[in-house]
Amino acid sequence: MNKDIILLRTVEVAAIASYKYIGKKNKNILDGAAVEAMEKVLNSAEGFSIKVVNGEGELDNAPMLYSGQILGDKSTKVPMFDVCVDPVEGTNPAASNFAGSIATIAISRLNTMLKLPEMYMEKLFVSNQLKDCADLQHGIIACVQKMQKKAKKKDIKAIILDKPRHNEIIKKLDKMGVIVRLIKDGDVLAAIDVVNGEADFVYGIGGAPEGGLMASLAISSGCKMMAKLVGYDQVWPHEKETKQRVEYENQALQKINLSFEKYLDDNDLIKDPRTRFFAAGITAGGTLKAIDYLNGKYYVSAFMSSHGVIRNIKSVYDIDQINALKPEIKYLFDKYKRK
């Protein structure tokens, strides 16, 4: 079967498995369902295998979809690829049933993805029309001024993570005439909105592993991303775990030969112009819609980008037919059916 179809099915089935637990206030069990579904579909793939580069949190010693895990066709004659995975990007929104969660995966040629530590990253994702302005080295405000000049208007549209660490930047952008949309979680989902023309850029300090997914999306869609790693002590200077996290981060940076001062663009994170990106809505939001279920059928809103081609996809999963024709994933639908 075509590799792209398998990867598209992977994110869609992960969204379906998580549906049972949307709004149940238990983000761990919701995430666990999506992880199991994603691993099952990937492990049943034929004709290729994958190596997880950025996966489930290494700080939590995740048992599935962990960094370095090999999945797929076990034959030595098939090609192997790198992947970044996030079975539920936005576990809090999904557990509380508000907008902001997706299942997502990105793939590239073997040994082309940078393994990112589980830490914070300042990320800027800019639309195709303004990608020449994506330069964080002089700060986000100077970068936005470049975008306004290029767009020949002040009221460009931004999506910003609504966190206390961004309060001053949000105030400055508002005074500059920028139309700011705030989100609690889900900067990968927000980047999809940029690709689909709903905003001009996404900015915020969020999770570093998601940076690989956003880099794949930028490369495959013709947009642009810039990023820089940020120390835990810069975000949470007074927490009990700060000292331990700083030690972990310093060790992690030494392993990948990076520093907090180095600026990275999408091509530093993924060295493959043929990278592909896939996502499916869980509670979603914006241009990607939430998963729904009615009369034995799941309605899934999915997204794919590759080689500058962008696809917004509506899929309908008829459970009875799938259970009859795809017995290898039948137990997932039985196990995670919402009653």
pLDDT of residue 322: 76
Tell me which of 90-99, 248-257, 301-310, 325-334 is least confident: 325-334
> Quick one: pLDDT band at residue 96, thresholds 50, 70, 90?
very high
Q: Is 179 helix (H, G, I), strand (E, B) or coil?
A: strand
Residue 273 corresponds to which tokens in the numbers above?
């112009």
Instruction: Indicate the Cα dihedral angle 154, 155, 160, 164, nearest 10°.
Output: 70
CB neighbours of residue 31 within 10 Å? 23
Residue 98 corresponds to which tokens in the numbers above?
């508000």
Residue 141: in which H helix or E strand, if any? helix 140-151
Task: Write down the mean pLDDT value for the chain.
Answer: 92
Residue 144: in which H helix or E strand, if any? helix 140-151
pLDDT of residue 63: 66
Strands (E), the chain: 49-54, 70-72, 80-89, 102-109, 120-126, 157-161, 179-183, 201-207, 224-230, 264-265, 276-281, 292-294, 297-306, 309-318
Span 155-163, average pLDDT? 95
Instruction: Tell me how far apart the alpha carbons of residues 234 and 121 are, in angstroms, rounded to a whole number.
Output: 11
pLDDT of residue 160: 95
Q: Which residue has the tokens 């998601």?
A: 210
For residues 158 and 75, is the Cβ–Cβ distance under 8 A? no
> Quick one: pLDDT band at residue 57, thresholds 50, 70, 90?
low
Q: Which of 247-251, 326-330, 333-337 has the highest mean pLDDT?
A: 247-251
- Taken as a whole, the chain contains a residue count of 339
Any bridge partners for residue 157, and if so which?
179
User: By percentage, how much of the chain surpasses pLDDT 90?
Assistant: 80
Residue 199 corresponds to which tokens in the numbers above?
């905003």
CA distances from 78 to 48, 51, 71, 132 (A): 5, 13, 12, 38
Instruction: Tell me how far apart the alpha carbons of residues 14 and 272 are, in angstroms, rounded to a whole number.
Output: 26
Listed in order, the ranges of the chain carrying CATH 3.40.190.90 are: 120-269
The side-by-side arrangement of strands in the sheet containing 157-161 is 179-183, 157-161, 201-207, 120-126, 224-230, 264-265
Tally DSSP H helices, then E strands, for the chain. 12, 14
pLDDT of residue 60: 54
Which one, of 231, 192, 233, lies nearest residue 208 by Cα? Answer: 231
One-letter amino acid of 104: T
> Quick one: pLDDT band at residue 175, thresholds 50, 70, 90?
very high
Which one, of 330, 333, 331, 296, lies nearest residue 316 by Cα? Answer: 296
Instruction: Indicate the Cα dihedral angle 214, 216, 220, 225, nearest 10°.
Output: 50
Span 223-251, average pLDDT? 94
Whether residue 22 has pLDDT greater than 90: yes
Span 67-86, average pLDDT? 92
Whether residue 286 has pLDDT greater than 90: no
> Quick one: pLDDT band at residue 61, thresholds 50, 70, 90?
low
Listed in order, the ranges of the chain carrying CATH 3.30.540.10 are: 3-113+273-335
For residues 45 and 143, is the Cβ–Cβ distance under 8 A? no
Instruction: Tell me how far apart the alpha carbons of residues 22 and 31 are, in angstroms, rounded to a whole number.
Output: 10
Whether residue 65 has pLDDT greater than 90: no
Does 3.40.50.2300 match the CATH number of domain 120-269?
Answer: no
Which one, of 8, 74, 83, 75, lies nearest residue 50 by Cα? Answer: 83
CA distances from 221 to 17, 229, 240, 256, 307 (A): 28, 23, 41, 27, 7
CATH of 3-113+273-335, one of 3.30.70.980, 3.30.540.10, 3.20.20.70, 3.40.50.300: 3.30.540.10
Instruction: Indicate the Cα dihedral angle 284, 219, 105, 29, nearest 10°.
Output: -50
User: By percentage, how much of the chain surpasses pLDDT 70?
Assistant: 94
Whether residue 1 has pLDDT greater than 70: no
pLDDT of residue 331: 64
pLDDT of residue 58: 63
Q: Is 25 helix (H, G, I), strand (E, B) or coil?
A: coil
Whether residue 47 has pLDDT greater than 70: yes
Whether residue 73 has pLDDT greater than 80: yes
